[in-house]
Amino acid sequence: MEKTLNNKNCSGCGLCSLICPKQCITLKKDKYGFLVPVVNEDNCIHCNKCVNGCELRQEEAKNFPLNIQAIQSRNKKILRKSTSGGAFYEVCKAFSKIYGKNINICGAAWEDNLILKHKIVNGIVSIGPLQKSKYIQSQASVIFPKIKCLLSNNEFVIFCGTPCQVHALKLYLQKDYDNLLLIDFICHGTSNDLVLKNCIQASINTSLMDDIQYNFRVKYKLHKYPYSVKIVNNHKVYKMRNDHFHSLFFSGSITRPYCKESCKYKNEHRYSDITISDCRGPEFKQVSSDLYSCVISNTEKGNNIVKRISGVKFKNYNFNLLKRYNPCFYEIEQTNNNSIFDDEYLEDPIRKIKKYGYQKNFLSPKEIFLNKIGIKKRTNH
């Protein structure tokens, strides 16, 4: 007999599946597509290690952030490939300067069929697949044993994930490693790949998902918008200023229920060494060509790495601005929108998404052409 945990009481980190002595816990998708622990009760010995070891039952971190600043990479290629100012790359580069070019970097990367999993790459030259924001939950716990093996062999590792994934890794390792750098980001919550696929189908009116690529945030030279969406399906390219996924995600309508209602990690006490995010405020233009990243040092280890960052533009930033313009660092974001997950969604998810989502807004062929050749659109007066 199998027992499935409710997604409202679970972050989906997967730690319980690793610490179970009988290996009778697996992560499976619930009816809405979220990963939840499923217990094989026939093999369970009721030792309660999964319950007592759950990250949500542990004490909160006690540390306070040490330093904050805004940065933007001067490397145009890196800036173009990054969501905002290239902070993730620049932090990894600074770490590599100290510990060598063969560092191991672990982060979320796409696999076939829009599945997101954590993977390990060697050196910053291979960091490309780990860059850019991805607003669905990655399967991270599957890589924890390999990280532990690397650390035990005195190899240097950077792990980047959501705050709950960082905490889960620390609990799995059971001790601090000097050769490990932990990076998290200011997290709005996560959705899942099934919801993403449904939103794509609703946005571009297709059921053909054989060769699909999705970019959550794409920078266009002439955009006054900070980012846009790009979907590639069977070699056909769709470019939009917004889509159903973004509209529903940022309104809180398709995020994991735990993230929206109960997340214990939306506060300034962090388990990571460094936190990164978009930089927002009156001094920061939200245009795609001039975005900055916010870099927060949470530990002395993280602060020492941030001090080694070079080859970037720096701007002053402070915690008052962060609290005002990126409140998820401090608290659960309050939204007026209800979740779309109900019986109506299960019956016809595409119809429900179209009902509550966004009216698609494609870039015109002229805008796409002008962006491609880099010529500004003229306006008549």
* Whether residue 164 is found in the same domain as residue 269: yes
Q: Is residue 378 part of a domain?
A: no
* Entry field: residues in the chain: 381
* Whether residue 242 is found in the same domain as residue 264: no
* Whether residue 147 is found in the same domain as residue 12: no
CATH number of the domain at 158, please: 3.40.640
Q: Is residue 298 part of a domain?
A: yes
* Whether residue 103 is found in the same domain as residue 84: yes
Q: Is residue 347 part of a domain?
A: yes
Residue 139's pLDDT is 92
Q: Is residue 62 part of a domain?
A: no
Q: Is residue 381 part of a domain?
A: no
* Whether residue 214 is found in the same domain as residue 113: no
* Domains of the chain: total: 3
Residue 381's pLDDT is 34
Cα(152)–Cα(189) distance, integer angstroms: 32
* Whether residue 291 is found in the same domain as residue 179: yes
Residue 211's pLDDT is 75
Among 182, 193, 140, 132, CA closest to 165: 140
Beta strands per DSSP E along 130-209: 157-160, 180-185
Residue 335's pLDDT is 67
* Whether residue 113 is found in the same domain as residue 210: no
* Whether residue 83 is found in the same domain as residue 171: yes
* Whether residue 182 is found in the same domain as residue 135: yes
Which residues, given as ranges, of the chain have pLDDT below 50? 222-226, 362, 364, 375-381
For 51-107, the pLDDT digits (tens) are 999 999 998 888 899 999 999 999 988 988 888 899 999 999 999 999 998 999 999
Domain that residue 165 falls in: 67-190+255-329
* Whether residue 86 is found in the same domain as residue 235: no
Q: Is residue 379 part of a domain?
A: no
Residue 8's pLDDT is 83
Domain boundary, last residue among 17, 36, 57: 57
The DSSP annotation for 12-71 comes to ---HHHHH-TT--EEEEE-TTS-EEEEEETTT-----HHHHH-GGGSPPP-----EEEEE
For 277-329, the pLDDT digits (tens) are 998 888 876 655 678 999 999 999 999 999 999 999 999 899 999 988 888 88
CATH number of the domain at 16, please: 3.30.70.20
Cα(66)–Cα(217) distance, integer angstroms: 29
Q: Is residue 91 part of a domain?
A: yes
* Whether residue 141 is found in the same domain as residue 280: yes
* Whether residue 103 is found in the same domain as residue 71: yes
Among 37, 4, 7, CA closest to 255: 7
Residue 109's pLDDT is 96
Q: Is residue 200 part of a domain?
A: yes
